[in-house]
Amino acid sequence: MGWHKRQHTALDEPKNPTTLADMIHEGLSVFCWCNRCGHNSTIDPVPLATALGSLFPVPELGGRMRCSLCQARDIATRPAWPSHGGGQIARHI
């Protein structure tokens, strides 16, 4: 008792996830990917920041979204980095 671990598996929960404010500051769009049908698009973070608050974490946006194609709520969101070299993005899950 009395000793608590400060470091709990930080892989899934980064301390400082990218927020909408970061996206706007960097001039990035939000990339959304439907895990069900593969539909994807980029959206402007400005209206999102207005609706959800500028400190809303980008990875949690997916929980607020619904696919416009298949209506699934299984949406992944991340910053739409402009130059990714065309490589594939490794997935952890």
Binding site for Zn ion (CB under 5 A): 34, 36-37, 39, 67, 69-70, 72
Q: How far is the CB of 91 from Zn ion (least distance, A)?
A: 17
Let me know if 16 is exposed, middle or buried by CB neighbors in 10 A (0-12, 13-18, 19+). Answer: exposed
**What contacts 74, CB < 8 A, 6 or more positions away?**
34, 35, 36, 62, 67
Nearer to Zn ion by Cβ, of 50 and 68: the residue is 68
Q: Which is nearer to Zn ion, 41 or 54 (CB)?
A: 41
When the beta carbons of 25 and 64 are compared against Zn ion, the nearer one is 64
